[in-house]
Amino acid sequence: MPEADVSKKEKNFHTDVPQKNELFFLKGSNNYDWGMKNRLARIFSPASGRTVMLAFDHGYFQGPTTGLERVDLSILPLAPYADALMLTRGILRSIIPPSTPRAVVMRASGGPSILKELSNEQIAVDMEDAVRMNVSAVAVQVFIGGEHETQSVHNLTRLVDAGMRVGIPVLGVTAVGKDMVRDAKYIRLAVRICAELGAAFVKTYYVEQDFDSVTSSCPVPIVIAGGKKLPELDALTMAYNALSAGASGVDMGRNIFQSDAPVAMLQAVRNVVHEGMKPREAFELYSKFKNSVKK
């Protein structure tokens, strides 16, 4: 039989203290269920409201990208410095230790290689498998204006429906085709469609002109893609400018793992994102870390 509560200490119900009901810290996310919010709080820091994601899912359509020939050697040393890892389920199962405490954002769409029409993607991961791997979010490419636009949008909506059933948020990743103009007007269109159809957050490209109109017209957080490899100071400046214009973080790949000093670069990016460090100061920090490793 369970023991009765026989404590002689007088009970205190704190009737004079109202129960707190704090709002969730992340833009547009307050009405999600507890599990969805918990997973988003693994990706985005509750302290800063921002995230540093490390993207190394490139192989799902272009094979062994420069810097990712051996993910076990190039990426695992970087993982401790990222908030979230953006990857494929194949790399997650074969390379990433289950003891890794970082959030996982798993690529869930795919199909064509760089040899074919990239917009012809399908859902490539069942949500049940995402649950099995305890991921924090799944990512799907959306090709607004692409040849297979509607198909990619339906990939997003099907994953959103499946994610809502199990509490896994969906990241909508906007893809800009080689023949499309990468400007604020196009980016506004693409990210808004992703958000309207249920993406919990959106990854897109930074544009210098009117990027604040992109973030202000999108009701969910935006993280910027790193894109092609830039000089370190330029990459840090891009991150700083995007955050100043309302972005909630970065998802960088080549600007990290193709850097001369990847760990130093990732630490510099962290300081820009979470501490608001200016680009020049962050570059000096990068140079300091880089030189200390050489010694």
Contacts of 43 (CB under 8 A, 6+ apart): 51, 53, 83, 84, 103, 105, 136, 137, 201
**3-state SS track over 43-71:** HCCCCCCCEEEEECCCHHHHCCCCCCCCH
d(CA 225, CA 173) in angstroms, rounded, equals 9
Q: Which of 20, 203, 228, 290 is catalytic?
A: 203
d(CA 52, CA 237) in angstroms, rounded, equals 15
Contact 147, 186 (CB under 8 A): no
Is 203 catalytic? The answer is: yes
Contacts of 212 (CB under 8 A, 6+ apart): 245, 246
Q: And the tokens for 19?
A: 């129960």
Residue numbers annotated as active site: 203
